Amino acid sequence: MLARAEDIGIPRGTTMFRHALQFVAGRSKETISCKMELLKKTFRWSDAEVARVVSRNPSVLTVSEDIAWRVSEFLHSEVGLDPEYIARRPSLIKYSLEGRLMPRHYVVKFLKVNGLLGHDQDYYTALKWTEKVFVEKFINPYREAAPHLAEDYADACRGKMPSRFRLQEPGAGLASV
């Protein structure tokens, strides 16, 4: 087990080594290799990027194939993140797609499109905060300008993506999509 943990690129004595041991316990070399290949294919990473991601966050190896593909598709196609961006922030892969990635993306997108948030706002910043801090930073300050935002965000977190997330129409106030 110790050798398999080192084989995935995590040296003994590091804080991540214990997590790597938990992952490799009861898993064959083939299973581990398949998981690493899955990450490579789904997130469009090189072998070196996969090794770096796994060494920083071995728990990414526990993601199922279905979830990996769905998260990858969302982050690449909908959010527009490049593979390198995701590789530098491997915790993105472990966040819930429906419970965190999607709802927060749509809030940030809404705020940017409506001119309420700077376009330089980093997506990961919105994801890393706890729920309480996210609401304090991305929902509460906009209660007056976007009174529906808190309700729409709460619905999105419950898996009911609101069709009324509103976008700014040129020359108009807040309008429905």
The stretch 28-45 carries a mean pLDDT of 92
Whole-number pLDDT of residue 165: 64
164 and 90 together in one domain: no
- The Cα 166–Cα 169 span in angstroms is 9
Higher-pLDDT residue of 106 and 121 is 106
Confidence of residue 7 (pLDDT cuts 50, 70, 90): confident
- The Cα 113–Cα 101 span in angstroms is 18
- The Cα 83–Cα 92 span in angstroms is 12
- Per-position DSSP letters for 29-75, written without gaps between them: HHHHHHHHHHHHHHHT--HHHHHHHHHH-GGGGG--HHHHHHHHHII
Boundary residue ending a domain (49, 68, 94): 94
Whole-number pLDDT of residue 171: 42
Does position 2 have pLDDT exceeding 90, yes or no? no
59-81 in b/e burial notation, b at 16+ Cβ within 10 A? bbbebeeeebeebbebbbeebeb
Boundary residue ending a domain (52, 76, 94): 94
Whole-number pLDDT of residue 18: 82
Residue 122, CA distances (Å) to 37, 118, 119, 127, 167 in order: 28, 9, 8, 9, 19
Confidence of residue 175 (pLDDT cuts 50, 70, 90): very low
70 and 86 together in one domain: yes
Tell me: the pLDDT tens digits for 127-149?
A: 999 999 999 999 999 999 999 99
88 and 106 together in one domain: no
* Boundaries of domain holding 61: 2-94
Three-class SS state of 116: coil
113 and 142 together in one domain: yes
48 and 107 together in one domain: no
76 and 118 together in one domain: no
78 and 102 together in one domain: no
Using a pLDDT cut of 70, give the percent of the chain over it.
92
State whether the Cα torsion 48-73-61-126 is positive or negative.
positive
Whole-number pLDDT of residue 39: 96
Does position 177 have pLDDT exceeding 90, yes or no? no
Helices 131-138 + 102-113 axis angle, to 10: 10
pTM for this prediction = 0.81
Tell me: the pLDDT tens digits for 46-61?
A: 999 998 998 888 889 8
11 and 78 together in one domain: yes
Tell me: the pLDDT tens digits for 90-120?
A: 999 999 999 999 999 999 999 998 899 988 8
Kindly compute the dihedral angle of the four CA atoms of residues 155, 157, 147, 171, in this order, to the nearest 10 degrees. Answer: -100
66 and 116 together in one domain: no
56 and 82 together in one domain: yes
62 and 121 together in one domain: no
- Total tally of structural domains belonging to the chain: 2
66 and 49 together in one domain: yes
- The Cα 106–Cα 153 span in angstroms is 8
Indicate the range of 24-33, 64-73, 103-112, 150-159 predicted with least confidence.
24-33
Boundary residue ending a domain (65, 94, 123): 94
- The Cα 129–Cα 119 span in angstroms is 19
